[in-house]
Structure 1
């Protein structure tokens, strides 16, 4: 099967390209470094020529209000080109719970992106993932001051990127759902407890204190970004992932 991956040089896209290739698919790996730019439209028709599916894994360059026009333009460009190229389906990587978090600009922008895909001319599958395990440490760094990490008790369900990539690969290779597939890690944590667990395995002198208003996740309702009951659950726990990364 011929599958185009947009954002192929990114955190998820690069792994997805390898996964699809290992499964025997013909993969077109595209991003701005290969001359494909969804903002300008440059190289997009050529990237999609002959493709049976296209997976969009690109991310906005910022988490603020600028995310909305970025996602709007790039998604409209991709949908228009996919329709003209008669691509069989579009697969979009998105985020669990974004329709429950109206106060976060980035989540509003991703929700608008989803709605463009849903209303677009090409059959689709939206893969919503919970927070990547790799991003827990950056989340902690955003609210670190000296030796103190301030974190709210917002509940997260961190997922291994490999589990998300597997779900994206399956979505690309199977008929479009014209709906949403959720993927999450096996365990739910309060964010402050997740921080403490991280520092037990990777101690660096910092300690976690609860601050319900700290950082982006202080704006997220308590259970908003925990996966719904029908989600696909990954097989890698956060503790397993921590131990593996600790010995890497």
Structure 2
């Protein structure tokens, strides 16, 4: 897809992968609507922050309406990045935390995606990027709730791409390993952040998928740090 002048929506833009993705898309000449609960420290003529809590359908609808009003036309790119993980053994998991993860990671993705699909179909062009996780391909102890949400993202992505592919719309699901973001701020014993991937690395993967030939479709992409524990000490 040629990106210059087209409209992108990125969720969860205050920092990390979302902010890195906004910056790389702005560099390609896109008009970017950043949906989130907190504005990033970013000033750019083509960046428009729109307050949005993806857990709530009405908040997403307001953000979508504002995006079309401010930027015009249809959304060509949606990056479903907003998400969070809260650790805990299943039988000890706080019910509110469980619902927060599913409301954000799964229901939020649903609300955002359904808002942009009609316009993409009309244009016969569009690309939806869903950020899952390695936790969406394999279980992780004490992360059953988070794994459940990310497996759901994979299942939704697999079904959706088959629904929209004949309209010229792509759906790509990305499964990152550990990325040095605020995701790990509330996890104890995380000491190897210098060996994690950078948010910019994931943003570059997103860009690669977006700029591919119209008939070339990245369905799933798994990315990991090469040496998550650092070099072997000889």
Change (3 A) 1:125 1:81: same
Q: TM-score, normalised by structure 1?
A: 0.61
Q: Is 1:59–2:55 an aligned residue pair? A: no
- The 1-side partners of 2:135 and 2:152 are apart by 13
- The 2-side partners of 1:27 and 1:170 are apart by 17
Change (3 A) 1:9 1:134: closer
User: How many residues are matched?
Assistant: 180
Q: Deviations over 1:139-194 (max 9, x none)?
A: 7x6149xxxx8x9xxxxx731222111112222333473521122222143xxxx6
Q: Is 1:23–2:70 an aligned residue pair? A: no
Gaps of 5+ in 2: 39-49, 88-96, 165-169
Q: Is 1:142–2:188 an aligned residue pair? A: yes
* Paired position in structure 1 for 2:18: 13
Q: TM-score, normalised by structure 2?
A: 0.64
- Structure 1 residue 99: deviation in Å? 2.2
Change (3 A) 1:54 1:65: same
- Structure 1 residue 68: deviation in Å? 2.2
Superposed, which structure 2 residues align to 1:78-97 within 5 Å? 78-86=112-120, 88-97=126-135
Q: 1:43 aligns with which of 31, 44, 62?
A: 62
Task: Report if the CA contact (8 A) 1:68-1:110 is conserved.
Answer: no
Q: Give the RMSD, CA atoms, in angstroms.
A: 3.2
Q: Structure 1 runs of 4+ off > 6 angstroms?
A: none
Larger Rg: 1
* Paired position in structure 2 for 1:108: 148
- The 1-side partners of 2:173 and 2:112 are apart by 15
Superposed, which structure 2 residues align to 1:59-208 within 5 Å? 59-60=83-84, 62-63=86-87, 64-66=97-99, 67-86=101-120, 88-101=126-139, 103=141, 104-120=144-160, 121-122=163-164, 123-134=170-181, 138=185, 142-143=188-189, 158-174=196-212, 175=214, 177=217, 179-189=219-229
Q: 3-state DSSP class of the match of 2:201?
A: helix
- The 1-side partners of 2:85 and 2:133 are apart by 16
Gaps of 5+ in 1: 152-156, 195-236, 238-248
